[in-house]
């Protein structure tokens, strides 16, 4: 279901899945939300609502319930109240995501890796997301875990506020996450406490700011490319 009707007119409605009690955290206009003629994409009239999916009620369906039951049971055996560690569980677009309280992230990751009925041996990386409208949870880190043993894929998601951008590192559990955490730090400014060498991985060490945050200037920083100056968006010609 498109957020535009067949004639291309903007439509403020958002496709809602069954049982979705999600949270609207903003409305974006245009392709990138640029103002003052900066949107040169031709999508200046596009209106999109930014919605985060809400908690899913049981049963989740299929093996999702098996994983959730085993994880909760394993945490209880370790003396952890499952509801303290797992803030909510979301099934959306055929994927299951466990939203984890950041202080419990290393314990949950280790449990998912080591429990014989879970065996999520592989973390394929962590992705950073910046939602300026998600007050108190502006920075999100999303971990993609795969069980080679059981042929399953899940996600973990943790949040941190702009005022305290800290999340525990999981490099001790998944060593290959070393460079992925450095990349998220480099581009989003999310600090992974306990990382063995949290330094920038692509940008120069003295670079100011974090280029993939939504409050970062969209081309507003002067850049020289092979002798040519690249103007900032508000100085470019608009085709919309």
Point out which residues pair with 139 in neighbouring strands.
130, 160
| Predicted local confidence at residue 45, as pLDDT | 75
Question: Which has more confidence, 231 or 204?
Answer: 204
The two tokens of residue 44 are 């200046």
198 Cα distance to chain centroid: 19
The tens digit of pLDDT for each residue in 149-174 reads 999 999 999 999 999 999 999 999 99
DSSP 61: -
Point out which residues pair with 145 in neighbouring strands.
123, 154
The two tokens of residue 234 are 């508000």
pLDDT band at 26 (very low <50, low <70, confident <90, very high): confident
The tens digit of pLDDT for each residue in 41-88 reads 667 778 888 888 999 999 999 999 999 999 999 999 999 999 999 999
| Predicted local confidence at residue 22, as pLDDT | 80
| Predicted local confidence at residue 2, as pLDDT | 37
User: What's phi and psi for 83, nearest 5 deg?
Assistant: -70, -20
Torsion-angle region of residue 36: left (phi > 0), alpha (psi -120 to 50) or beta?
A: left
| Predicted local confidence at residue 49, as pLDDT | 84
Nearest CA to 118 out of 57, 77, 165 is that of 77
Q: What is the average pLDDT score of the chain?
A: 84
Q: Give the C-alpha separation, 127 to 143, whole Å.
A: 7
CB 185 within 8 A of CB 213: no
| Predicted local confidence at residue 23, as pLDDT | 85
pTM, two decimals, is: 0.79
pLDDT band at 25 (very low <50, low <70, confident <90, very high): confident
54 Cα distance to chain centroid: 15
Q: Which domains does the chain have, with CATH numbers?
A: 10-54 (no CATH), 64-193 (3.30.460.80)
The two tokens of residue 56 are 């899913």
Q: Is beta strand 47-52 parallel, antiparallel or unpaired with respect to 122-130?
A: unpaired
| Predicted local confidence at residue 137, as pLDDT | 95
pLDDT band at 15 (very low <50, low <70, confident <90, very high): very low
**Lowest-pLDDT choice from 113-122, 178-187, 196-205:** 196-205
- Burial code (b: 16+ CB inside 10 Å, e: under 16) for 55-66 equals ebeeebeeebee
pLDDT band at 212 (very low <50, low <70, confident <90, very high): very high
Q: Give the C-alpha separation, 153 to 63, whole Å.
A: 11
Point out which residues pair with 27 in neighbouring strands.
49
178 Cα distance to chain centroid: 18
């Amino acid at each position: 279901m498109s957020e535009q009707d067949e004639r291309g007119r903007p439509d403020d409605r958002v496709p809602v899945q069954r049982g979705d009690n999600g949270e609207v955290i903003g409305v974006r206009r245009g392709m990138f939300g640029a103002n003052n003629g900066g949107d040169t994409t031709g999508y200046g009239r596009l209106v999109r609502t930014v919605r985060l999916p809400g908690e899913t009620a049981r049963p989740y369906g299929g093996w999702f319930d098996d994983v959730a039951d085993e994880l909760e049971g394993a945490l209880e055996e370790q003396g952890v109240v499952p509801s303290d560690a797992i803030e909510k569980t979301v099934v959306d677009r055929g994927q299951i995501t466990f939203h984890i309280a950041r202080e419990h992230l290393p314990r949950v990751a280790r449990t998912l890796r080591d429990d014989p009925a879970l065996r999520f041996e592989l973390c394929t990386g962590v992705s950073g997301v910046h939602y300026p409208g998600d007050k108190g949870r502006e920075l999100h880190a999303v971990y993609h875990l795969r069980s080679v043993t059981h042929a399953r894929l899940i996600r973990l998601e943790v949040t941190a506020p702009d005022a305290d951008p800290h999340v525990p590192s999981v490099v001790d559990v998944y060593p290959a996450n070393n460079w992925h955490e450095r990349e998220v730090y480099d581009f989003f400014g999310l600090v992974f406490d306990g990382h063995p060498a949290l330094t920038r991985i692509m940008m120069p060490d003295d670079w100011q700011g974090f280029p993939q945050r939504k409050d970062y200037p969209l081309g507003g920083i002067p850049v020289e490319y092979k002798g040519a100056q690249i103007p900032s968006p508000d100085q470019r010609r608009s085709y919309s």
